[in-house]
Amino acid sequence: MKKIRVAIVGCGRISVNHFKSLEENKDNIELISICDINQNTLSKHKNKYKVSGYLNIEDMLKKENLDLVAICTPSGTHACQTELCAQYSVNVITEKPMATRWQDGIRMVKACDDANVHLFVVKQNRRNPTLQLLKRAIKENRFGKIYMVHINVFWTRPQEYYDQAEWRGTWEFDGGAFMNQASHYVDLLDWLIGPVNKVQAMMSTTRDIEVEDTGVLNVQWRNGALGSMSVTMLTYPKNLEGSITIIGENGTVKVGGVAVNDIKIWKFDKARDYDDQVKKASYQTNSIYGFGHPLYYKNVVDVMQNGSEPETDGREGLKSLEILIAAYLSARDGKTVSLPLEY
């Protein structure tokens, strides 16, 4: 079968995971071109991967015959770049969050719908073996009624991190601790527990940035469960914890570690044959990204070559974006915000 012809736009921090994912899926995917606005970065990656390179994304779209573009640029640029790819009938993978504004996310989905191309939103943490087991337990109703959920994201981002680029820590292009660093954990609220009914949030800023670096979020789900989320980028001296705890009628689970990589508690009233996989599912890592990117790309291949269902498309990406925007509105206005934002 013909390989999928891919370009990567933005060769910064997160692009490393995409380059590795292409290598691991090289039987089905072929890197054709790269794009970056920094000439030195562009030249370095052109030489490394032996592909064409462009400083301007539209120049690349005009000249290259592409099936798919992976957008790894600052979040506030995702919308316009996605719309541009759609105009050239090219499928899109965009990193999280899909956008920094609700209406931008809506525009992205509409543009890809109108062009009849796929919009994939990266949510690689869903592929963590620890979370796959947790998702299975929830689908099989092992918890019974879920009473309470709590998420901690205790990481560190020093001032030097934000000073690396002018866009970091801005509302327009980056978003804060919830929208950027904890975005994958916000995704778990809907993916694991179900549709959110209401949120309340409070946020604060210590670093010299526009956005929040610390915050708390209270959540009420439509199924009656209550929960909370605590996020900070001020942890000393390094990343400490990325965890989720679920307490239900018939079970309690905590998945901890630095990035939901270690199942700490797994207790249910009735055992299942896959419970012995718990120890095998846990893994040690210092990376907050996990190892889900290659598996995410495998699903993209299956969708584009075999007609499979996408794990996280644009509409799935909108679910976590809606919670994020509701949280920011709540923190700004000091009130409870109900979902959906639009009817």
Count of CB atoms situated within 10 Å of the CB of 219: 25
pLDDT at 131 over 80: yes
pLDDT at 108 over 90: yes
Predicted TM-score (pTM) of the model is: 0.96
pLDDT at 321: 98
pLDDT at 290 over 80: no
Average pLDDT over residues 331-342: 97
**Predicted confidence band of residue 99 (pLDDT cuts 50, 70, 90):** very high
Q: What is the DSSP string of 36-86?
A: -S-HHHHHHHHHHHT-EEESSHHHHHHHS--SEEEE-S-GGGHHHHHHHHH
Residues 6+ apart with CB under 8 A from 108: 78, 79, 82, 83, 92, 94, 98, 99, 119, 314
pLDDT at 291: 80
**Predicted confidence band of residue 343 (pLDDT cuts 50, 70, 90):** confident
Count of CB atoms situated within 10 Å of the CB of 167: 15
Average pLDDT over residues 150-179: 97
